[in-house]
Structure 1
Amino acid sequence: MKISTHIHQQLRLKNGLITLILLGLIGGMAWLSSQHTLEVDITGNAGNTLALQSQKVLSALPDPVAITAFIPKGQPVRLQIAQLVDRYSRIKPDLTLSFVDPAANPDKAHELNIDAAGAVVIDYQGRSEKLNFIDEAALSNALLHLTNANERWVSFLTGHGERLSDGQANFDFSEFSKEMDRRKIKAQSINLANIQAIPENSALLVIAA
């Protein structure tokens, strides 16, 4: 199958750094999720360092990051969150953390749809992510998502016997697509016989013959 020069030009990625980080973290963040929880990670031998994937995410954030933890006063998890975020702020000093007691600020908690159990809100460049569970993998993935001002997609080429992004055969990519979806990376299938150009929102084109 041949792809025209015009299509090749369309495949040039405008956000090269973000795409490289995305590719590395699809696997890396999955590994972190399976290896660490907040409690284990901050008390283990590796508790003073961040994974290389997390450090790469921070390097792609030129502007300040504000993290607000809506956690009731007196909860031990406050200290755990502070210890986790401290590892990020050592690398990125303009990443800050503040605590808010949901019971003392019910209007703000209601506005953000935060219940009594609490949540963590990350703000960056006017965009925000809310986490109901936080560990290194969850926080780094939320920061990664905030680096993208526009929603980006991974496009899977179809129509010539390629493996499917949502197919169930053992050679298809359904599990890979589920993992991307869990990481808030969208997947779409495209057939060049039915469209004239690669969608502009494509951050990556997968051709899996």
Structure 2
Amino acid sequence: MLNRILNVAGWVGIVLVFGTLLATLSGRLGPEWDPYIRWARYAGFACIVLYMLGQWREIGRMFQGRQARLGSMALVSVIAVLGILVILNYLASREKKRWDLTKNQIYSLSEQTTKLVSSLTAPVKILIFAPEDEFPAYRDRLNGYANASKQVTVEYIDTAKRPALAKQYDVQVNGTTVFEYMGRVERVTTNTEQDLTNGLIKVLAGTEHKAYFTAGHGEHDPTNSDRRLGYSGIAAGLARDNFKVEKLVLAQESDVPADATVVVIAGPTADFFPPEIEALKRYIAKGGKVLFMVDPPDKVDSPPLSSLIALIEEWGVQLGNDVVVDVSGMGQLLGTGPEVPVAATYPPHPITEGFTFVTAYPTARSVTPIPGAGADKPVAQAFIQTSPRSWAETDIKGLLATGEVSMDP
């Protein structure tokens, strides 16, 4: 009877050890299951040890007579297997590594998110407030954050069972994810990786960034939703990245606001006044950041942007008075013509590191580093290149009149 119980204990131990190993490696169970997995693992090893102790007579016989050699080999094999199981369980519990075996890696975090999470140096708590039966919808994705860094802990809160805690964190709707970091709190009400990571970025930053879009020169409007002229979609994207977007009329200001994280000059059609240029120079000299987006002329008699282009050239960048066209045929894949150059080549640069997507640039002018810059000018670096079958078309009048392009022989 005792031997039968010990045999059952041995099998139970094997099941528990392998089961906890698979549970840890899969990463499908939330951190709240860790204590149960740990104790189940201990119980499994205890059952295996009890089984082996109960078989001491059989083990002793292995070392008697002609069976000694075979018995020794069998015992060594058993000890080796147990040792491997112990090591695997230890590594799995320490490293929290998991494998995503889905075809499209739907449970894997992007490289950018993984870098952000793995760089954490202080604890971040993630709390999910939702009905208990909805926890699995969040677990697969959020476990990826916890597995990427030991600084991340994830806790699932049933709002019906713990309404006081939901009130404490000012949770208004089910499905809210709360990020808590160094006393700061950020709430996210969607479950996409982009929104979750943006929530993490916001709570880490602690302060909201400011992006000022210049106005008064025919620029694209960040509040306009027109597909061609409006930049409301860009403004919404910046808001998701913890930027507050405001307009800036430099003609009415003596300087760029001190809280500006970046100034965006988005497609002006009229030149800047000298006081505005000087304000931009002072801002840049203090370490400010400016994003220049200068479209090519859309009319033959379009006024030149001489002052703005001169400011850009001071930083080692030359803007051509031309329109980039592309006859490679790549644009046809996107349903566009030669007036929309397509790029698939990105020289080494931190901005495009790891970027492998095709990008298109409707109605763009050439932008090139000024040769020989360096002694008295900053050195510009290109990080986007259009195809070899693209060029800068200087016959803007002919292009606007006919819409046809041809490479000069």
The answer to whether the superposition gives a TM-score over 0.5 is yes
* 2:263 alignment partner in structure 1: 205
Q: Specify every segment of 5 or more residues in structure 2 that has no aligned partner in the other structure, as ranges.
A: 1-99, 269-409
Separation in 1, partners of 2:110, 2:173: 31
* 2:309 alignment partner in structure 1: none
Separation in 2, partners of 1:84, 1:68: 13
CA 1:182–1:138: 2 relative to 1, 3 Å: closer
1:109 aligns with 2:161: no
* 1:128 alignment partner in structure 2: 185
Paired residues of 2:175 and 2:190 also in contact (CA < 8 A): no
- After TM superposition, the structure 1 = structure 2 runs for residues 189-204 of structure 1, keeping only pairs within 5 Å, are 189-204=247-262
Cα displacement (A) at 1:115: 5.5
Separation in 1, partners of 2:191, 2:146: 16
- Give the helix-richer structure, 1 or 2: 2
* 1:62 alignment partner in structure 2: 121
**Quick one: which of 164, 171, 174 aligns to 2:229?**
171
What's the CA shift string for 1:130-167, capped at 9, x where partnerless? 22321312211111222322211111122333332224
Cα displacement (A) at 1:122: 1.1
* 1:72 alignment partner in structure 2: 131
Separation in 2, partners of 1:44, 1:85: 19
Tell me which structure has the larger Cα radius of gyration: 2
**Quick one: which of 154, 170, 195 aligns to 1:138?**
195
What's the CA shift string for 1:70-103, capped at 9, x where partnerless? 2333x1x313322212211222221111122222
CA 1:62–1:198: 2 relative to 1, 3 Å: farther
Separation in 1, partners of 2:192, 2:220: 34
Paired residues of 1:82 and 1:97 also in contact (CA < 8 A): no
- After TM superposition, the structure 1 = structure 2 runs for residues 30-41 of structure 1, keeping only pairs within 5 Å, are none
Separation in 1, partners of 2:105, 2:240: 25
Aligned residues: 167
* 2:140 alignment partner in structure 1: 83
Cα displacement (A) at 1:180: 2.6
* 2:211 alignment partner in structure 1: 154
Separation in 1, partners of 2:150, 2:103: 23
Code of the aligned partner of 2:114: Q
Paired residues of 1:102 and 1:118 also in contact (CA < 8 A): no
Paired residues of 1:102 and 1:116 also in contact (CA < 8 A): no
**Quick one: which of 102, 110, 126 aligns to 1:51?**
110
CA 1:191–1:43: 2 relative to 1, 3 Å: same
Cα displacement (A) at 1:182: 4.7
Cα displacement (A) at 1:60: 5.6
What's the CA shift string for 1:48-71, capped at 9, x where partnerless? 421123224325643211011223
SS at match of 1:207: strand
* 1:100 alignment partner in structure 2: 157
Q: Higher RCO, 1 or 2 (CA under 8 Å, sep at least 6)?
A: 1
Code of the aligned partner of 2:159: P
Code of the aligned partner of 2:217: H
Question: How big is the alpha-carbon RMSD for the aligned residues of Structure 1 and Structure 2?
Answer: 2.7
Separation in 2, partners of 1:168, 1:103: 40
TM-score if structure 1 supplies the norm length? 0.68
CA 1:139–1:116: 2 relative to 1, 3 Å: closer
SS at match of 2:234: helix
CA 1:69–1:198: 2 relative to 1, 3 Å: same
Paired residues of 2:198 and 2:240 also in contact (CA < 8 A): no
Separation in 1, partners of 2:142, 2:225: 39
Cα displacement (A) at 1:184: 4.3
CA 1:132–1:164: 2 relative to 1, 3 Å: closer
Separation in 2, partners of 1:205, 1:43: 42
TM-score if structure 2 supplies the norm length? 0.37
Separation in 1, partners of 2:238, 2:218: 22
Cα displacement (A) at 1:45: 3.3
- State which drifts further: 137-146 or 172-181: 172-181
